């Protein structure tokens, strides 16, 4: 071909390169991994919240360097205050069960026809809290009335006298979903101890000896002092 000649037209050559096929399974796998990590984090948070309570119970009930025993009966597993428990004030106002959380509770169950034994339990409940001294603000008195009857004026006045108790009505069948008496005993015969997380964890014997109950309460408050503070 002469030097200045124009080269003839040639057909345009095209090269086709193969593209990687997207892996549609990868996003699903990543999403599943994120879900598992999220669940693990939630479990760790729950364990962190429960760890102080578990540690204090372990210290109290398992590690006994002095060979001590508890007077009250340990409830295992503990029983949580039902979120739907129908609680009302004596005047009929609804009360959220969650409002009872955040404080140790010493609970008495009674009927509106409170007899002499019932009045004695209320007196013992009152005395026990006062006997705690500077720790008394970590424990609340709760009285649950298991029927709809009217309380005697003098009894109501005593319950409302300072330091006041939290007095609520709760149907007996609803209470049975949370508290329970010892075999052959009535619900009203015991003092019940509830921890700040709303877990019923101890039941005192009928006609409990105040000094022995006090020892249990002191041990519980001492064992939980590093995570529980006065008030809600």
Complete DSSP assignment for 90-152: TT--EE-GGGGTTSEEEEEEE-SS--HHHHHHHHHHHHHHHHTGGGGGGEEEEEEE-S-PPPP
Q: What is the pLDDT of residue 139?
A: 96
Q: Are 88 and 94 in contact (CB under 8 A)?
A: yes
Q: Average of pLDDT values for 17-21?
A: 54
Q: Are 73 and 205 in contact (CB under 8 A)?
A: yes
Which CATH superfamily does the domain covering 72-223 fall into? Glutaredoxin (3.40.30.10)
Dump pLDDT digits (tens) for 133-186. Answer: 999 999 999 999 999 999 999 999 999 998 899 999 999 999 999 999 999 999
What is the spatial distance between Cα 149 and Cα 151, in angstroms, rounded to a whole number?
A: 6
What is the spatial distance between Cα 87 and Cα 144, in angstroms, rounded to a whole number?
A: 9
Q: Are 168 and 49 in contact (CB under 8 A)?
A: no
Which range of 22-26, 61-65, 140-144, 226-230 scores highest in mean pLDDT? It is 140-144
Residue 194 exposed, middle or buried by CB count within 10 Å (0-12, 13-18, 19+):
buried
Position 10 confidence tier, pLDDT thresholds 50, 70, 90: low
Domain positions in the chain are: 72-223
E-strand ranges in the chain read 73-80, 87-88, 94-95, 104-110, 139-145, 166-169, 191-194, 199-203
Dump pLDDT digits (tens) for 93-106. Answer: 999 999 999 999 99
Q: What is the dihedral of CA 98, 99, 100, 104, to 10 degrees?
A: 110
- Rounded to two decimals, the pTM is 0.73
The set of residues, in sequence order, having a beta carbon less than 8 Å from that of 229 and lying 6+ positions away, is 138
Strand partners, 200: 79, 194
Give 21 or 207, the one with higher predicted confidence: 207
Angle at 33 between CA 29 and CA 34, to 5 degrees: 120
């Amino acid at each position: 071909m002469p030097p200045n000649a124009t080269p003839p037209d040639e057909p345009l050559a095209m090269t086709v390169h193969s593209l990687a096929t997207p892996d549609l399974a990868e996003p699903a796998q990543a999403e599943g991994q994120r879900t598992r990590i999220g669940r693990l984090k939630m479990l760790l948070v729950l364990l962190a919240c429960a760890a102080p309570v578990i540690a204090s119970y372990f210290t109290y009930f398992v590690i006994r360097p002095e060979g001590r025993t508890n007077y009250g009966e340990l409830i295992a597993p503990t029983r949580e205050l039902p979120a739907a428990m129908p609680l009302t004030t004596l005047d009929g106002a609804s009360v959220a069960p969650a409002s009872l959380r955040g404080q140790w509770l010493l609970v008495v169950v009674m009927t509106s026809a409170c007899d002499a034994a019932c009045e004695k339990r209320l007196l013992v409940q009152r005395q026990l809290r006062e006997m705690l001294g500077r720790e008394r603000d970590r424990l609340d008195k709760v009285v649950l009335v298991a029927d709809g009857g009217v309380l005697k004026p003098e009894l109501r006045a005593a319950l409302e006298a300072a330091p006041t108790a939290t007095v609520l009505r709760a149907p007996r069948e609803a209470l049975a979903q949370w508290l329970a008496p010892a075999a052959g005993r009535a619900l009203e015969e015991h003092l019940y101890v509830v921890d700040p997380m709303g877990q019923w964890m101890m039941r005192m014997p009928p006609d409990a000896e105040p000094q022995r109950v006090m020892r249990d309460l002191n041990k519980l408050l001492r064992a939980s002092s590093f995570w529980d503070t006065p008030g809600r």
